[in-house]
């Protein structure tokens, strides 16, 4: 797999399209931090680490379980999730060029020298970095 973050975003997008309640994917620290940002910002219900597999699947690797969130009418909370920076083209922004997503109704996830954070927090802390993705 060339880009695990793009794979994570695609799995979330596909699961939301068919209204799955949860997804399970291979764990990495970066994916877990992205999932925790999505949880604290209210885009998903819960993000948790599952030790050694889920539902009787036997493997030696920890997995990341994300419970998706839906509105009362059945529409997914995440209407679009896209990768901005990719392995072949990294997109960096300075503290003055931090993007706003959908007039601040969405978020951008930015990898800064102080760790992963949303675009709103990066503006408050006056730091720039690599734009990982956008969610709205």
Give the model's confidence band at 61: pLDDT under 50 very low, under 70 low, under 90 confident, else very high. confident
Taking the CA of residue 24 as centre, how many other CA atoms within 13 Å lie in the half-sphere pointing to its CB? 11
How far apart, in Å, are the Cα atoms of 29 and each of 39, 72, 74, 126, 131? 15, 32, 31, 24, 17
Give the model's confidence band at 37: pLDDT under 50 very low, under 70 low, under 90 confident, else very high. very high
Stretch(es) of the chain classified as CATH 3.30.1490.10? 84-135
Class (C level, CATH) for 4-68: alpha beta
Each residue's pLDDT tens digit, 84-126: 999 999 999 999 999 999 999 999 999 999 999 999 999 999 9
Give pLDDT, residue 57: 60
Stretch(es) of the chain classified as CATH 3.30.1370.30? 4-68
Give pLDDT, residue 51: 86
Average pLDDT over residues 50-61: 70
Q: What is the CATH number of domain 84-135?
A: 3.30.1490.10
Give the model's confidence band at 53: pLDDT under 50 very low, under 70 low, under 90 confident, else very high. low
The span from the CA of 82 to the CA of 100, in Å, is: 14
The span from the CA of 84 to the CA of 95, in Å, is: 17
Give the model's confidence band at 54: pLDDT under 50 very low, under 70 low, under 90 confident, else very high. low
């Amino acid at each position: 797999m060339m880009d695990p973050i793009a794979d994570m975003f695609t799995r979330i997008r596909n699961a939301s399209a068919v209204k799955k309640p949860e997804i399970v994917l291979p764990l990495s620290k970066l994916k877990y931090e992205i999932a925790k940002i999505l949880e604290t910002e209210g885009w998903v219900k819960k993000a948790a680490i599952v030790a050694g597999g889920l539902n009787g699947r036997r493997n030696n690797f920890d997995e990341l379980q994300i419970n998706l969130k839906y509105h009362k009418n059945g529409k997914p909370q995440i209407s679009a999730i896209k990768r901005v920076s990719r392995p072949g083209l990294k997109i960096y922004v300075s503290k003055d060029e931090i993007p706003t997503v959908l007039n601040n109704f969405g978020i951008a996830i930015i990898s800064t020298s102080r760790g992963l954070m949303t675009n709103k927090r990066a503006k408050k802390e006056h730091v720039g970095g690599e734009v990982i993705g956008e969610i709205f």
